[in-house]
């Protein structure tokens, strides 16, 4: 039950956050309900007070007539007759109870002022006069009224208005009271309350419907703009919003279309510029091959004859040979990165034992590690790790990563780990050199990027190796990630799916090394 409630609340919260129309409709519903309820309470109180005031005025008028009539009857009675006062009181009650058109709806009671005096009353129910009301009428000698209840034959109570006053005569000391049931007023209030409730609910419902319709007119163009923006982001740059009318929404659509046209023009210009740049790099790299080949032939001749040359010329021939090697590598990398930019790279994937591939790369760079005094720690599974990859490209990726670790390892050990997981395999290469500063892990795969811009390139790299490795990894649908910390070295992790194009959920190896894996004193 708790899970269902949590899911329902999560769905409602998602709908609330994701729908402007729902929020506007809900806000209108709450506010209109509050306003309608407050207005209904005010009107209901006004109507109730009006009904009670009218009933009170009518009751006082009836009481005034009864008091004058009672006084006239007591003044005209024959006092010589025995029990004249009691008989006159009985006659007065009978006459007053049958007076008017409401004879069946109200009761009359005539109370003797003296304690223990007799009383006369008539009406549909017995009348009980509160002591507080009798006290006000007796002590202050004026008319007064109060609200009371009448017990119905079924046992229930109904409201009533009780008014009374002293009979203005010296012939007898009596107080006259009228009890008026408020049944009609209660029924009228109930009818008004029901009517107001139904009318308020109808008004609130209509307001919500109107708000939904109005919000729909406002939100629909916004949704269309969002959908058009998503299509533009997906590359459909010619999509536009429809412009209807001349209102603010039409102005929004016009401005949006103008913005889309500007973005399309800018992107087209950038694409053309990028195409020209790629073409320029490819053409320059290709055209440089012919003179480089000629220079290479002459340099090879000088290099082979360096033993017969003067020492300074022999050294120059060696430097020329080294720089030609770097220049040819740079040309090859430029051609490769231009093919990636042009989308002209295709994978030649096959089933490969990655364990053997890693071993081959480690053996190939072992001389470089020996020259730099670095120890290579290789941690490979005992069984084969067969994965579908382009062996030539993955070999190049691993070689670039391992050579980069040796160059920046400062002579400290470099570790290579290979592990397989449920959704892919991973190779992590760790060095213990100077590491990377915060924010550099996301920049290290950029073209010609250097951690220290002031440092000249004196060995190996062309500045494109990691960029090409990143593009080769992306072609396989894999991840190439970096981690580094100043003074703690860096980690480069290559994660590949078991088959090209499959989805990777997680890497079998952590990117950030655990403290226990640190090489103490290295």
Higher pLDDT, 245 or 55: 55
Confidence of residue 19 (pLDDT cuts 50, 70, 90): confident
Residue 420 has pLDDT above 90, yes or no: no
> What's the Cα-to-Cα distance from 2 to each of 9, 10, 12, 91, 203, rounded to whole Å?
10, 12, 15, 75, 36
Fold of 249-342: Helix Hairpins (1.10.287)
pTM for the full model? 0.47
- pLDDT, one tens digit per residue, over 439-472 is 777 778 777 766 555 444 444 456 777 888 888 8
Q: How far apart are CA 481 and CA 428, in angstroms?
A: 10
- 246 or 92: which carries more pLDDT confidence? 92
CA 250 to centroid of chain Cα atoms: 29
| The pLDDT of residue 165 is above 60 | yes
pLDDT of res. 118: 56
Spans of all domains in the chain: 24-189, 249-342, 350-453+460-517
Query: What pLDDT digit, counting tens, does each position of 31-43 carry?
Result: 888 888 898 899 9
Tell me which of 67 and 520 has the higher pLDDT.
Answer: 67
pLDDT in tens, 308-360: 777 877 788 778 877 777 777 776 766 777 666 666 677 788 898 999 999 99
> With contact defined as beta carbons under 8 Å apart, do 163 and 150 qualify?
no
Residue 28: predicted pLDDT: 83
Which residue did the predictor score with more confidence, 61 or 173?
Answer: 61
What's the pLDDT at 305? 79
Is a pLDDT exceeding 50 seen at residue 519? Answer: no
Neighbours of 338 (CB within 10 A): 20
Q: What is the pLDDT of residue 60?
A: 92
Least confident of 173-182, 194-203, 224-233: 224-233
As given in the structure block, the two tokens for residue 309 are: 């040359």
Q: Would you state the pLDDT for residue 521?
A: 38
Residue from 245, 244, 475, 521 nearest 346 by CA: 475
Buried (b) or exposed (e) across 374-394, using 16+ Cβ within 10 A? bebeeebeeeebebbbbbebb
pLDDT score recorded for residue 255: 82
Q: Is the pLDDT of residue 436 over 70?
A: yes
Q: What's the chain's average pLDDT?
A: 80
Residue 119: pLDDT over 70? no
Taking only the tens place, the pLDDT of each residue in 366-398 is: 888 888 888 888 889 888 888 898 888 888 889
- Would you state the structure tokens that stand for residue 50, as one six-digit string? 């009006």
Residue % of the chain over a pLDDT of 70: 86
* pLDDT average, residue stretch 198-224: 82
Flag whether pLDDT at 146 surpasses 70: yes
Whether 243 and 256 have beta carbons less than 8 Å apart is answered as no
- β-pair type (414-420, 376-379): parallel
pLDDT at 172: 74
Binned at pLDDT 50, 70 and 90, residue 184 comes out as confident
**Does 163 have pLDDT greater than 90?**
yes
Q: Which residues pair with 141 in a beta bridge?
A: none
In the prediction, which pLDDT does 46 show?
92
Q: Is residue 148 pLDDT above 80, yes or no?
A: yes
Higher pLDDT, 44 or 248: 44
Task: Provide the pLDDT confidence category of residue 101 given band limits of 50, 70 and 90.
Answer: very low
- Highest mean pLDDT: which range of 60-64, 103-107, 273-277, 289-293: 60-64
Architecture in CATH of 350-453+460-517: 2-Layer Sandwich (3.30)
CATH architecture of 24-189: 2-Layer Sandwich (3.30)
Could you give the angle at the alpha carbon of 11 between the alpha carbons of 8 and 15, nearest 5°?
140
Q: What's the gap between Cα 71 and its chain centre? A: 80
Closest by CA to 433, choosing from 417, 448, 419, 452, is: 452
The pLDDT tens digits of the residues spanning 216-268 come to 777 777 777 778 778 777 777 777 777 777 777 678 778 878 888 887 788 78
Tell me the average pLDDT across 206-213: 85
Phi-psi region of 387 (alpha: psi -120 to 50; beta: other; left: phi over 0): beta
- Quickly state the pLDDT bin for 278 (edges 50, 70, 90): low
For 107-128, what is the mean pLDDT?
69
């Amino acid at each position: 039950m708790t899970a269902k409630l949590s899911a329902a609340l999560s769905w409602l919260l998602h709908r609330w956050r994701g729908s402007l129309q729902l929020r506007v409709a809900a806000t209108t519903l709450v506010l209109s309900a509050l306003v309608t309820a407050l207005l209904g309470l005010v009107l209901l109180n006004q109507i109730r007070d009006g009904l009670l005031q009218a009933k009170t005025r009518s009751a006082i008028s009836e009481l005034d007539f009864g008091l004058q009539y009672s006084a006239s009857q007591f003044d005209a009675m024959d006092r010589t007759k025995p029990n004249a006062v009691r008989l006159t009181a009985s006659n007065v009650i009978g006459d007053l109870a049958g007076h008017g058109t409401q004879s069946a709806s109200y009761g009359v009671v005539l109370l003797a002022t003296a304690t223990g005096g007799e009383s006369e009353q008539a009406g549909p129910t017995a009348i009980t006069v509160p002591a507080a009301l009798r006290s006000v009428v007796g002590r202050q000698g004026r008319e007064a009224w109060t609200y009371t209840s009448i017990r119905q034959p079924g046992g229930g109570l109904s409201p009533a208005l009780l008014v009374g006053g002293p009979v203005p005569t010296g012939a007898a000391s009596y107080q006259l009271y009228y009890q008026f049931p408020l049944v009609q007023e209660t029924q009228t209030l109930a009818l008004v309350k029901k009517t107001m409730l139904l009318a308020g609910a109808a008004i609130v419902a209509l307001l919500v419907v109107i708000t939904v319709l109005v919000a729909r007119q406002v939100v629909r163009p916004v949704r269309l703009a969002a959908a058009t923006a998503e299509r533009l982001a997906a590359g459909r740059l010619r999509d536009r919003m429809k412009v209807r009318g001349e209102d603010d929404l039409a102005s929004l659509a016009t401005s949006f279309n103008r913005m889309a046209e500007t973005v399309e023009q800018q992107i087209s210009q950038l694409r053309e510029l990028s195409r020209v740049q790629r073409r320029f790099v490819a053409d320059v790299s290709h055209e440089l091959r012919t003179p480089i080949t000629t220079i290479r032939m002459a340099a090879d001749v000088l290099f082979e004859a360096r033993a017969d040359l003067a020492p300074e010329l022999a050294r120059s021939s060696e430097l020329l040979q080294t720089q030609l090697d770097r220049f040819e590598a740079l040309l090859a990398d430029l051609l490769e990165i231009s093919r990636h930019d042009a989308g002209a790279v295709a994978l030649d994937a096959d089933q490969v034992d990655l364990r053997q591939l890693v071993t081959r790369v480690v053996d190939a760079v072992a001389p470089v590690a020996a020259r730099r005094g670095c120890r290579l720690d290789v941690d490979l599974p005992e069984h084969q790790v067969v994965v579908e990859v382009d062996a030539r490209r993955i070999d190049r990726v691993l070689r670039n990563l391992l050579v980069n670790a040796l160059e920046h390892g400062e002579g400290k050990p470099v570790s290579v780990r290979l592990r397989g997981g449920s959704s892919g395999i991973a190779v992590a290469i760790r060095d213990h050199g100077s590491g990377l500063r915060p924010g550099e892990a996301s920049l290290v795969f950029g073209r010609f990027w250097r951690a220290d811009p002031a440092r000249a390139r004196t060995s190996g790299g062309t500045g494109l190796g990691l960029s090409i490795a990143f593009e080769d990894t992306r072609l396989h649908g894999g991840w190439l990630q970096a981690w580094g910390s100043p003074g703690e070295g860096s980690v480069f992790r290559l994660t590949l799916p078991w088959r090209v194009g499959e989805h990777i959920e997680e890497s079998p190896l952590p990117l950030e090394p655990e403290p226990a894996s640190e090489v103490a004193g290295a």
